[in-house]
Amino acid sequence: MSSHPYQRRLSAEEASARFLFITKSALPGLPPVGWPFRLRVGERELPAAISAVPCACVSTPHHHYHLQDTGFTRLLPWQKGRVVRLQPVAGEEDLFELVWG
């Protein structure tokens, strides 16, 4: 697994529906889809996983990837354009931190 953080600017859809979209290109640097890991949000630590969501937004059926909500959505301010970073915590094999800019 890569030690590089995943960063993105929230879209209007993500902000209103309160989910974090994970790009397919970011998947190699994160735990496998469906694999449980720990997520630190501020002082809290929550269980987490990345889920594959079936989609038909184009003619070919495919999946989009989201960080599953395990309670973190109520802890954070959701605004279009806000920068969000999901980064591994050094020295912790299965711990990632969610940081909001």
Please count the other Cβ atoms lying within 10 Å of the Cβ belonging to residue 42: 12
Judge whether 29 lies within some domain. yes
pLDDT, tens digit (0-9, with 9 covering 90-100), for 35-86: 999 999 999 999 999 999 998 888 899 999 999 888 888 888 899 999 999 9
Q: How many domains does the chain have?
A: 1
Residue 4 pLDDT exceeds 90: no
CATH number of the CATH domain containing 41: 2.40.330.10
Judge whether 21 lies within some domain. yes
Quick check: 42 and 71 in contact, CB under 8 A? no
Query: CB neighbours of 42 closer than 8 A, spacing ≥ 6?
Result: 75
Cα–Cα distance between 6 and 97 in angstroms, integer? 10
Residue 24 pLDDT exceeds 90: yes
Torsion angle in degrees (nearest 10) through CA of 55, 61, 66, 71: 50
pTM over 0.85: yes
Q: Which domain holds residue 39?
A: 6-100
